[in-house]
């Protein structure tokens, strides 16, 4: 076995090592050097990880997968090991994680160079990278669950990075507890699955699920299988911000933008990656596959609608992340794991470029409010080009990235599930509408007060931006052209994007009246249908629905339990105490010091005992 394969387990440890090397700067051991050396060390370890993962990809290209078992803990008869699946797809995922992490870290050095806690930020980025890199290579459900927990922790710490702001604190708390709901059910599923299967390795689980004995067992116990399958998908539902655990992702945009680049591109895909590996097990439960398709469809459509009404730049784009991961869930539910992996890849590249470009805008004009932007195309041409390319690559525009994956999805569903083709067309059209809306409000029109003096970003930010532009342009080389008979369907896909783009252009591109030099309020704040925009802008009132249902139920239950504890439990304990006091106070009057009275009492007691014994 080549060295690069047998030591592939080092790839996630490069990120963890970078985080560990940053600790002296976090705790103030090195003060005179400033925080930059911590950033350089993390970038160096990420670069080493990128080189190792690229070498691994070249070695494994076209080769069968190899299982590498890493010893973890051994004492007496207890031997715990972690299994890694070294394959071509895992190597591609590792390259993607390390590559996007590297450009995000270089980008972060330009966007956060004045932050007083730069070392802590880079330590958390290394933690992020290590956890998601481990998931990319893991062949163990138990190890993947542990790494998903690390992702939950690192998300909480990165979202709450600027912890002095109350909104940031509440966003970090909501993200943590929302994901914990899914993690709790996933843990139940892992424990239940461990009692049924002899191994928790994904490869072994696939073989176990294919045996007639396993299929017969779940056919005889359908409810148990359904509950097990729903528990296994609950964790990915929370990690990937799918309905009904989807509201944390837009709040997570309160964190630093370099972390948002990594989170919206590869981190949210970690849960979907585990879901794809579990697909052979989930195929045992038809209800679970239907649930995946249903949840993915609801999230894809609702998130696309919510995105077009947001006036916060980062939140408008974060909802599109949930929408596209909804399409990934649909693909897994339909048994199209290869298409789900392709969607994760193309979406990650396009979305990372998109968040880099909007981050460049925000660091220049110091606002995220779309109503305060405009006219930046002439002032920031490189950033404008990057955002435009990312938008085209995210939607189904020939010949860029997502066209090929969405076209293959539409082709796969055309005969078996034509309604899902309509879902793909709707998501593509709504996403095109939303991205043209953002482009119009940010880059088109006349400059607003905050955008009149907006220079192009410096080279530290421009370098990773241009590098990712080159990568995005080369993504179509990984895909083959679809068969000619499907071009009508693919034309409909492109047409849906054009309709959405043209509609948004007609609404948003013209923000000034003819002959007027005074800008009108952007159409984002004066919609044609005010109530409809309020519905979309307020996340379809899902939060209010939570408050009158789940939150009200939990609050009512807690109040009831408080009443039970106060009046029943405490009341019973207090009653025993009062009876003890009263009985002790009463018994003290029976202490007379006369032995005759004591003997008489004992005799009466014995007579009572004998009487009850004879009656029994």
Predicted local distance difference test score (pLDDT) of residue 370: 87
Distance CA 85, CA 137 (A): 6
Please give the span between the terminal C-alpha atoms of the chain, in angstroms, as a whole number. Answer: 81
Predicted local distance difference test score (pLDDT) of residue 587: 66
Three-state SS at 497: helix
Of 80, 88, 95, 285, residue with least CA distance to 201: 80
Model pTM score = 0.86
Predicted local distance difference test score (pLDDT) of residue 488: 79
Q: Are 255 and 157 in contact (CB under 8 A)?
A: no
Predicted local distance difference test score (pLDDT) of residue 519: 44
**62: region left, alpha or beta (phi > 0 left; psi from -120 to 50 alpha):** left
Phi and psi angles of residue 454, each rounded to the nearest 5 degrees, phi first: -125, 95
Helix segments in 138-262, DSSP class H = 141-159, 166-196, 202-209, 212-220, 222-239, 248-251, 257-262
Distance CA 87, CA 66 (A): 6
Predicted local distance difference test score (pLDDT) of residue 616: 60
Predicted local distance difference test score (pLDDT) of residue 436: 92
Predicted local distance difference test score (pLDDT) of residue 484: 55
Tell me the CA distances in angstroms from 256 to 105, 127, 434, 546, one per residue in order. Answer: 12, 15, 23, 28
Residue 524, classified by CB atoms within 10 Å of its CB into exposed (0-12), middle (13-18) or buried (19+), is: buried
- Kindly state the helix (H) or strand (E) to which residue 264 belongs, with its residue range: none
Distance CA 350, CA 129 (A): 19
In order along the chain (616 residues), what is the average pLDDT of each group of 10 residues? 84 91 84 83 93 92 84 69 86 92 89 82 90 90 91 89 86 87 91 87 89 88 89 90 85 85 87 91 90 93 90 89 93 90 91 91 87 87 92 89 88 88 93 92 85 82 89 83 68 91 84 44 50 74 78 82 83 81 71 72 83 76
For residues 278, 281, 284, 289, the Cα torsion angle rounded to the nearest 10 degrees is -10
The structure tokens listed for 182 are: 């899914």
Predicted local distance difference test score (pLDDT) of residue 517: 41
């Amino acid at each position: 076995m080549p060295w690069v394969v047998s030591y592939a387990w080092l790839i996630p440890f490069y990120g963890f090592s970078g985080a560990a090397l940053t600790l002296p700067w976090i705790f103030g051991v090195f003060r005179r050097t400033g925080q930059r050396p911590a950033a350089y060390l993390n970038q160096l370890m990420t670069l080493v990880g990128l080189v190792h993962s690229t070498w691994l990809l070249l070695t494994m290209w076209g080769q069968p997968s190899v299982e590498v078992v890493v010893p973890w803990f051994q004492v007496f008869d207890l031997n715990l090991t972690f299994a890694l699946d070294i394959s071509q797809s895992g190597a591609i995922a590792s390259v993607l994680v390390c590559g996007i992490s590297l450009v995000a870290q270089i980008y972060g050095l330009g966007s956060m160079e004045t932050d007083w806690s730069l070392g802590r930020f880079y330590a958390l980025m290394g933690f992020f990278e290590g956890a998601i890199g481990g998931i990319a290579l893991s062949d163990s459900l138990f190890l993947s669950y542990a790494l998903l927990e690390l992702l939950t922790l690192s998300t909480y710490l990165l979202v709450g990075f600027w912890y002095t702001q109350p909104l940031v604190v509440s966003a970090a708390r909501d993200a943590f507890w929302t994901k914990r709901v899914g993690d709790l059910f996933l843990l139940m599923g892992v424990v239940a699955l461990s009692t049924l299967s002899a191994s928790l390795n994904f490869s072994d689980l696939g073989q176990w699920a294919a045996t007639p004995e396993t299929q017969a067992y779940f056919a005889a116990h359908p409810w148990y299988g359904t509950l097990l399958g729903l528990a296994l998908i609950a964790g990915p539902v929370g990690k990937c911000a799918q309905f009904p655990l989807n509201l944390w992702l837009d709040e997570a945009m309160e964190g630093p933008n370099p972390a948002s680049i990594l989170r919206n591109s590869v981190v949210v895909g970690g849960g979907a990656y585990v879901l794809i590996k579990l697909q052979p097990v989930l195929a045992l439960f038809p209800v679970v596959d239907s649930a995946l398709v249903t949840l993915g469809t609801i999230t894809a459509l609702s998130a696309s609608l919510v995105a077009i009404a947001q006036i916060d730049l980062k939140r408008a784009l974060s909802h599109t992340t949930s929408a596209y991961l909804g399409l990934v869930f649909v693909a897994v539910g339909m048994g199209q794991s290869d298409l789900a992996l392709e969607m994760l890849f193309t979406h990650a590249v396009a979305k990372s470029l998109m968040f880099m470009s909007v981050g460049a805008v925000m660091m220049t004009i110091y606002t995220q409010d779309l109503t305060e932007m405009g006219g930046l195309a002439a002032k920031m041409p490189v950033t404008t080009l990057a955002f435009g390319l990312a938008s085209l690559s995210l939607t189904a525009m020939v010949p860029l990235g997502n066209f090929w994956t969405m076209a293959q999805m539409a082709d796969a569903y055309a005969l078996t599930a034509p309604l899902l083709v309509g879902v793909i067309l709707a998501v593509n059209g709504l996403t095109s509408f939303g991205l043209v809306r953002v482009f119009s409000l940010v880059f088109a029109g006349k400059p607003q007060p905050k955008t009149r003096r907006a220079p192009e970003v410096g080279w530290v930010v421009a370098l990773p931006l241009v590098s990712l532009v080159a990568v995005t342009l080369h993504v179509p080389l990984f895909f083959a052209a679809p068969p000619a008979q499907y071009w009508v369907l693919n034309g409909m896909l492109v047409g849906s994007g054009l309709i959405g783009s043209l509609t948004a252009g007609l609404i948003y591109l013209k923000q000034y009246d003819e002959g007027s030099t005074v800008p009108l309020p952007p159409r984002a704040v004066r919609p044609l249908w005010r109530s409809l925009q309020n519905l979309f802008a307020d996340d379809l009132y899902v939060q209010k629905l939570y408050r009158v249902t789940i939150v009200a139920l939990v609050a009512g239950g807690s109040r009831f339990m408080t009443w039970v504890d106060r009046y029943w439990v405490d009341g019973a304990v207090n009653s025993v105490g009062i009876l003890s006091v009263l009985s002790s106070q009463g018994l003290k009057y029976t202490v007379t010091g006369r032995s005759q009275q004591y003997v008489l009492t004992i005799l009466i007691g014995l007579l009572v005992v004998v009487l009850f014994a004879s009656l029994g």
